[in-house]
Structure 1
Amino acid sequence: MLADNQTINKQIHLRIPKNFHQEPVISRLVSDYGLTINITAAILGANAVGDGWFDLDLQGTTAQIDAAINHLQEIELEIWDENNISSW
């Protein structure tokens, strides 16, 4: 079992729909939850039409990452990780 203050890495695949393109979704994970984020892959349509897909490597404590994932789920974004698929 990991301590809540131990730094870990978690890889997720995130879909950001077109209606969120003007929202700083990834930036908020850094500023609001204190995560370090590496974007390992991204797909955006030409002129930012359509959904964006991002592979993110999240680095932070278990508590920080859990809170950030909960936030993404609350705003109803699709998230895939190595354990499951969450979609709404």
Structure 2
Amino acid sequence: MNNPTVLKLDESGNNRPTQARIRIRVPKKYHREAVLSQLVLHHGLEVNILSAILGGNGEGDGWFDLQLFGTSQQIDDALIELTERDIQILDSVGTNQDGW
């Protein structure tokens, strides 16, 4: 069964540099965890926060618009991890750009 959140950014090779833009909702239960830093550490991605909405005083969920840079395999693996942690991926667009 195919995972719908896996972008399959680069069918010709998993080591080619690429980027993807995603929008995610991080549940309140992860407020004290470094979710974005874990994407960098676990998957070797570069993460650019384009915008974010966070509740004051740790209330509510966090909403992030992110640009991810890495190989297509790294990005796919990161999306799988987010999904497994019940972090909702609201929108994802692969750009397939070499040489970022």
Alignment-derived partner of residue 17 in structure 1: 27
Q: Which runs of 4+ in 1 moved over 6 A?
A: none
**TM-score, length-scaled by structure 1:** 0.88
Query: Which of residues 44, 47, 52 is equivalent to 1:34?
Result: 44
Gapped regions of structure 2 (runs ≥ 5): 1-10, 95-100
CA RMSD of aligned residues (A): 1.3
Selected match of 1:54 from 56, 64, 75: 64
Q: Percent identity?
A: 45
- Note the C-alpha offset of 1:33: 0.2
**Equivalent in the alignment of 1:75:** 85
1:6-42 superposed Cα distances (whole Å, 9 cap, x missing partner): 1111000010111110111100000010000000000
Deviation at 1:82, TM superposition (A): 3.3
Deviation at 1:68, TM superposition (A): 0.4
1:81 CA drift (Å): 1.2
User: Counterparts of 1:38 and 1:8 in 2: how far apart (Å)?
Assistant: 14
Deviation of 1:76 (Å): 1.1
- State the alpha-carbon separation in 2 of the partners of residues 37 and 60 from structure 1: 9
TM-score after normalising by structure 2: 0.78
Any unmatched runs of 5+ in structure 1? 84-88
User: Across the two proteins, how many residue pairs are aligned to each other?
Assistant: 83
